[in-house]
């Protein structure tokens, strides 16, 4: 396609998209700001969108077009496998990361989420989540131009880069905050600032605390301007005030500029807190959803090849709403972390009882067809147990005593525990919060290695592989967290590093440059995971639009997931127990007939009947008369 023809096609498409998404934009803006303000903001956003489109590279415009058309389901395909890492802890800097491309490709990775890339405040920065400049990168990694070049190289290698878009707050060192501190009223309106404790005290009666142990309260006194500032997270993270439309427009400007650097997925950080309204809990508010609808419509106009991903750490019933719901279904994020499924898998592993998890996951609203969950066993944050509870007391909600048990179990405090980990945000007298630890340490590898117990090591390897295998079969992108692919253990020296007092650094170790040696259990995990990923990528039944159901096997330790694509059926059986388990043979023959094949490559060599499962085994069963395609 010649450049001129290309430009015309791109411009025509841009016009078409503007016409198509304008309605979504105005509905959402009207909800947020009413008229006439909503209309004015819409005009501002449309002109910003035009500017952003005009400065978008031809390569990225071509990608947009392809994704609008033939690759519309690019993030739903079974080939899509995610990985997340801190670039500095994995590879030193951007250059080091580029050298890791072959490694990531060998693992089958097609989507890479880089943490802590944009310029954070100096010193403690909540692991990079206190941004001082959205359009610059951390000095130790390289420049923003280097990042742009990296996105292009990753794209060539078939890997889409994802960055966090920390849009709920900025660092107090961000230029807007500095000007607010200096007394500029226009910038004080970018944040929530109060002259005294009256309103903060009223709000506090309704608000939760995210970091009750390390950053109690939701407001911080700022001496320089003699004001109380809303700070949901750490005192140096100032919440942005989206009641002020200038904030929305300025943040969209940052978002578009980053998209034009080649970022293909944005993780919308801490999404549930974005809108505040007095008299409410200020979480998951309808206006927060409207805000995301604005982001989505605006991004669809500028760069439809870019996907938005919600990070909603909330009670399970809220999270599917971040795809959009009711009349806005499919109009928010294309991707969302299944924060509840993550915690639920750890519940299954500790209790050997999948019942509550299955009840929970089956009770939630289904995701819209053109979206994908992100399934993962671990990430850079803690396992948040509150995601498994419902403030409305739904019957799937896990009871306090079970969650308290899990909290203690994963800190290695219960008699039956195999785990090594730590409690997160433990406050005297309070119940469960979160748990920290790497996948392998939580799954028992650390204790087993320490005890030089070969049998326990084998079991811990199996547990780790089960926690990798289940996300591979669900209706989302499986995401591997840095080091978990090779059984990296907890880093107990974390607090010795400057600014690493927060307990989540326990599972953010520096990754060794060398891969684990052949005798290392980590090597076994890596090789096995690689082969499961390879197989999943070749099975169209794992497309995330394919339906998913849980069925009751009559055995509490076995999770059974059914995927149905046309007349094909895949039955995944996952044994969460340390003992051999089985389901009724009829259950399998009724679904799959008498001749059954196990598609999980880890199982090809073993001779058990399909209804029998070894400890922590995960079977991917299909009728053997048909190809698993």
Residues that bind ligand GLC (CB under 6 A): 126-127, 129, 166, 233, 269-270, 311, 313, 380-381
- Nearest approach in angstroms of CB 430 to ligand GLC is 19
User: CA 459 → CA 4, 289, 465, 558, 616, distances in Å?
Assistant: 61, 43, 10, 17, 8
Cα–Cα distance between 117 and 165 in angstroms, integer?
A: 10
CB of 375 to ligand GLC, least distance (A): 16
The least CB distance from residue 381 to ligand GLC, in Å, is: 5
Q: In whole angstroms, what is the distance from residue 483 CA to residue 85 CA?
A: 8
Nearer to ligand GLC, 239 or 599 (CB): 239
Dihedral class, residue 255 (left if φ above 0, else alpha if ψ from -120 to 50, else beta):
alpha
Catalytic residues: 269, 311
Least Å distance, CB 269 to ligand GLC, is 5
Nearer to ligand GLC, 41 or 313 (CB): 313
Q: CB nearer to ligand GLC: give 346 or 620.
A: 346
Answer for the pair 268, 333: CB distance below 8 angstroms, yes or no: yes
Q: By C-beta, is 120 or 572 nearer to ligand GLC?
A: 120
Which residues lie closer than 8 Å to 34 by C-beta, 6 or more apart?
Answer: none
3-class DSSP state of 602? helix
State residue 622 phi and psi, 5-degree precision: -135, 160
Of 233 and 236, nearer to ligand GLC (C-beta) is 233
For residues 106 and 219, give the distance between their C-alpha atoms in angstroms, rounded to a whole number: 47
Q: What are phi and psi of 86, to 5 degrees?
A: -85, 120
Strand order, beta sheet including 219-222: 193-194, 227-230, 219-222
Least separation in angstroms between residue 271's CB and ligand GLC is: 9
Nearer to ligand GLC, 310 or 403 (CB): 310
CB of 211 to ligand GLC, least distance (A): 8
Alpha-carbon gap, residue 376 to 83, rounded angstroms: 10
Shortest distance, CB of residue 163 to ligand GLC, whole angstroms? 13
Query: How far from chain centre, in Å, is Cα 327?
Result: 25
Q: Where are the alpha helices (DSSP H) in 205-244?
A: none
C-beta of 507: minimal distance to ligand GLC in Å?
12
Tell me the HSE value of 418 on the side-chain side, using a 13 A CA sphere: 25
- The Cα-based distances of 458 to 315, 455, 488 in angstroms read 35, 5, 15
Confirm if 193 and 184 have CB atoms less than 8 A apart: no
Residues 6+ positions from 8 with CB-CB distance below 8 Å: none
The smaller minimum CB distance to ligand GLC, of residues 126 and 347, is found at: 126
Q: How many angstroms from the chain centroid is the CA of residue 517?
A: 30
As a 3-state breakdown, the chain gives helix, strand, coil percent values, each rounded to 5, of: 40, 15, 40
Nearest residue (beta carbon) to ligand GLC: 129
Instruction: List, in order, residues 6 or more apart from 440 with CB less than 8 Å away.
Output: 446, 460, 464, 484, 487, 488, 489, 521, 522, 525
Looking at the Cβ atoms of 129 and 190, the one nearer to ligand GLC is 129
């Amino acid at each position: 396609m010649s450049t001129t023809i290309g430009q015309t096609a791109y411009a025509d498409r841009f016009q078409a998209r503007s016409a198509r998404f304008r309605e979504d934009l105005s509905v959402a803006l009207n909800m947020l700001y009413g008229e006439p303000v909503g209309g004015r903001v819409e005009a501002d956003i449309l002109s910003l969108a035009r500017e952003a489109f005009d400065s978008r590279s031809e390569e990225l415009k071509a990608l947009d077009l392809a994704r609008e058309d033939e690759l519309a389901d690019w993030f739903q395909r079974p080939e899509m496998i995610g990985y997340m890492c801190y670039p500095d802890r994995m590879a030193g800097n951007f250059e080091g990361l580029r050298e890791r491309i072959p490694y990531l490709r060998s693992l089958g990775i097609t989507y890479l989420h880089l943490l802590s890339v944009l310029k954070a405040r100096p010193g403690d920065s909540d692991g990079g989540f206190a941004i001082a400049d959205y359009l610059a990168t951390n000095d130790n990694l390289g420049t923003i131009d280097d990042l742009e070049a990296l996105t292009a190289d990753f794209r060539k290698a078939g890997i889409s880069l994802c960055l966090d878009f920390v849009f709920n707050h900025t660092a107090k060192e961000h230029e807007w905050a500095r000007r607010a501190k200096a007394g500029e009223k226009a910038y004080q309106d970018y944040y929530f600032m109060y002259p005294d404790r009256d309103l903060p005290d009223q709000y506090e009666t309704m608000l939760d605390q995210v970091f009750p142990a390390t950053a109690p309260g939701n407001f911080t006194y700022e001496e320089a301007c003699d004001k109380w500032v809303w700070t949901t997270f750490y005192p140096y993270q100032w919440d942005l005030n989206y009641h002020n439309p200038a904030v929305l427009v300025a943040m969209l400007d940052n978002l578009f500029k980053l998209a034009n650097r080649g970022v293909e997925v944005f993780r919308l950080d801490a999404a549930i807190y974005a809108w505040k309204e007095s008299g409410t809990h200020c979480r998951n508010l309808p206006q927060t959803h409207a805000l995301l609808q604005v982001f989505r419509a605006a991004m669809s106009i500028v760069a439809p090849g870019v996907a938005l991903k919600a990070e909603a750490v909330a009670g399970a019933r809220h999270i599917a709403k971040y795809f959009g719901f009711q009349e806005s279904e499919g109009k928010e994020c294309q991707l969302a972390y299944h924060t509840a499924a993550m915690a639920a898998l750890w519940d299954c592993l500790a209790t050997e009882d999948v019942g509550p998890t299955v009840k929970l996951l089956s009770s939630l609203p289904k995701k819209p067809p053109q979206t994908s969950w992100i399934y993962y066993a671990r990430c850079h944050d803690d396992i948040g147990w509150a995601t498994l509870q419902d403030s409305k007391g739904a019957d799937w909600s896990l009871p306090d005593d079970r969650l308290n048990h899990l909290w203690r179990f994963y800190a290695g405090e219960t008699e039956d525990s195999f785990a090594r980990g730590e409690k997160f945000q433990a406050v005297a007298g309070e119940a469960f919060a979160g748990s920290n630890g790497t996948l392998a340490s939580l799954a028992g590898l650390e204790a087993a290695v320490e005890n030089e117990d070969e049998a326990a090591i084998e079991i811990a390897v199996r547990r780790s592989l089960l926690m990798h295998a289940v996300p591979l079969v669900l209706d989302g992108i499986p995401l591997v967290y840095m080091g978990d692919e090779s059984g990296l253990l907890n880093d107990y020296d974390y607090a010795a590093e400057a600014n690493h007092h927060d307990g989540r650094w326990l599972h953010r170790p520096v990754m060794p440059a060398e891969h684990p040696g052949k005798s290392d259990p980590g090597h076994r995990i890596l090789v096995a995971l690689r082969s499961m990923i390879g197989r999943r990528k070749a099975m169209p039944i794992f497309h995330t639009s394919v339906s998913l159901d849980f069925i009751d096997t009559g055995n509490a330790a076995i999770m059974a997931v059914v995927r149905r694509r046309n007349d094909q059926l895949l039955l995944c059986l996952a044994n969460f127990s340390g003992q051999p388990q089985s389901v009724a043979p009829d259950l399998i023959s009724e679904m799959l007939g008498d001749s059954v094949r196990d598609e999980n490559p880890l199982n090809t060599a073993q001779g058990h009947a399909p209804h029998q499962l070894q400890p922590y085994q995960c079977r991917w069963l299909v009728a053997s008369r048909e190809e698993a395609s």
